Amino acid sequence: MQLTPQLLHAALEIAFDAGAHLIRFYHQPLQVQTKSDNTPVTQADLFVSRFLSEKLTALTPQFPVLSEESCDIPLAVRNRWQTYWLIDPLDGTQQFIRRTDQFSVLIALVHQNRPVLGIIHSPTLGKTYYAMQGFGAYKQTAEQTRRLQPRRLDPTRPLNIIVGSAAAAEKVRSILNPNFHYEFQLYGSSGLKSALVAEGVADCYIRLGQTGEWDTAAAEILLAESGGIIYDTRFRPLTYNQRESLINPDFIMGGDRQFHWEKIFRFNSP
């Protein structure tokens, strides 16, 4: 499996087209259903899932596609995959329904159980974050494309933590080391929160709640190529396509992989 600028460019074009489809649905009345895990799904999720699956399959017929909306594939089948696309057609469905603009298309290419290419595309905000192993991480807008550089956190200022809600912020406060200072910002879409960490707008994103591997794969390579890190609550890497369940453990995304995150968070590990 060879990573090339041509492959990245083609995947970006597919992400942009998927975003255009989301915008079309965004300005129409939505039909919202509830999935078996009690999360919402709209016709936009389902349409864009099919669109991405078809386009990525046409791009690389040798690579399977695993989508949040069609993920009922047993590990006995998946564990034969050396390389596959992992997608979330609409990350931030709740924000899409509420018309907050904070949603994104997530596309990742996973090779030998590690993400090696990732795209986080926000069609309403006009921002696209992307990375490929060995090629760096970038933020693209209509005005410019710039490389995301590694950075070191300043321990003399409050640690900026991004979370999804005020309730999540209170939950996170309960596991913070009281000897440090913190500030919180609220934002939708797991992918966009991770992108803001990679960009340096936030220092870390912590999620104490259910997510899928499709929520973190693109973020993982984006952070890896910009000097960041993702840990579970035992400060170990996340895994991909190695368990029957595709549900992630709770995790921390940090913008500085050299920072001593274990000094900040007090988890009660079994």
Binding-site positions for substrate = 68, 90-93, 215
Residues annotated in a binding site: 68, 88, 90-93, 215
Annotate 161-177 with three-state secondary structure.
Answer: EEECCHHHHHHHHCCEC
Q: Is the Cα torsion angle 39, 42, 44, 48 positive or negative in sign?
A: positive
Backbone conformation region of residue 61, classed left if phi is above 0, alpha if psi is from -120 to 50, else beta = alpha
**DSSP designation for 263:** G
What is the DSSP pairing of strand 159-163 with strand 182-186? parallel
Whether 14 and 107 have beta carbons less than 8 Å apart is answered as yes
Sign of the Cα torsion 163, 12, 226, 123 reads: negative
With 0-12 / 13-18 / 19 or more C-beta atoms within 10 angstroms meaning exposed / middle / buried, residue 179 is exposed
* Binding site per annotation, positions for Mg(2+): 68, 88, 90-91, 215
Q: Which two tokens stand for residue 229?
A: 């890190």
Question: Strand order in 182-186's β-sheet?
Answer: 182-186, 159-163, 204-207, 251-254, 229-232
Q: What is the maximal distance between C-alpha atoms in the chain?
A: 53
Q: Give the helix/strand (H/E) hosting 159.
A: strand 159-163
Cα–Cα distance for residue pair 93/39, rounded to 1 Å: 9
